[in-house]
Structure 1
Amino acid sequence: MWVLSMLSALAGNKTVMSIFAALVGGVGLYVAGGISRAKKDAARRAAEELAAAQDRLEMGREATDAERAARDLPDEAARREAMRWAKH
């Protein structure tokens, strides 16, 4: 019973309540900042994955173009072209 009377006395004190409100607000801002950072990290990772996929696609296109061109080359020229690609 004395705990209830103690809590009601603290709840009636404006200074204690304003400190409590500030603490709760600070915790809320900290949590919101963590969520924001997580969203930024996820967006950054997604952008990196997209860039990597686009690079792989472009490399595949270049390789396909080189393969098509190599089909029409004589054997020695095709070997030179293959060696050029093998060095990359």
Structure 2
Amino acid sequence: MWVLSMLSALADNKTIMAIFAALAGDIGLYVAGGISRAKQDAAKQAAEKLAAAQDRLEMDREATDAERAARDLPDEAARREAMRWARH
């Protein structure tokens, strides 16, 4: 019974209610900031994955071009070209 009277007294006190409201708002902003940071991290990781995929695609294109050029070479020249690519 005394708990209800304390809660009623606290609810009537505008200063305490303003403090509780401010705390609730701060907690809400903190949670929203965490969600925002998580979304930013996810976007950054997605951009890094896309850049890595584009790099792999470009390397595959270069390798394919080198393979096509090597087909027309004599065996010894093709071997030298393959060794050059193997060092990269």
Do these two structures clear the TM 0.5 threshold for a shared fold by scoring above it? Answer: yes
Question: Is 1:21–2:21 an aligned residue pair?
Answer: yes
Q: Aligned-pair distance for 1:46?
A: 0.3
Structure 2: state its 5+ residue gaps. none
**What is the TM-score normalised by the length of structure 2?**
0.97
The aligned amino acid for 2:25 is G
Q: Deviations over 1:11-48 (max 9, x none)?
A: 01011001001100110011001000000000000000
C-alpha separation in 2, matches of 1:41 and 1:3:
45
* 2:35 aligned partner: 35
Structure 2 CA distance for aligned equivalents of residues 57 and 28 of structure 1: 44
Report the number of matched residues: 88
- How many angstroms apart in 2 are the aligned matches of 1:13 and 1:55? 63
For 2:68, the equivalent position in structure 1 comes to 68
Distance in 1 (alpha carbons) for counterparts of 2:51 and 2:84: 25
Q: Which runs of 5+ in 1 are unaligned?
A: none
Distance of 2:69 and 2:53 partners within structure 1: 24
Q: CA deviation at 1:3?
A: 0.9
Higher relative contact order (CA 8 A, sep 6+): 1
Instruction: Report the TM-score, using the length of structure 1 for normalisation.
Output: 0.97
State the Cα distance separating 1:77 from its structure 2 match. Answer: 1.2
Query: How much identity, in percent, do the aligned residues show?
Result: 86
Moved over 2 A (4+): none
Q: Please report how far the alpha carbon of residue 78 of structure 1 lies from its aligned counterpart in structure 2 after TM superposition.
A: 0.7
Partners of 2:18 and 2:5 in 1: how far apart?
19
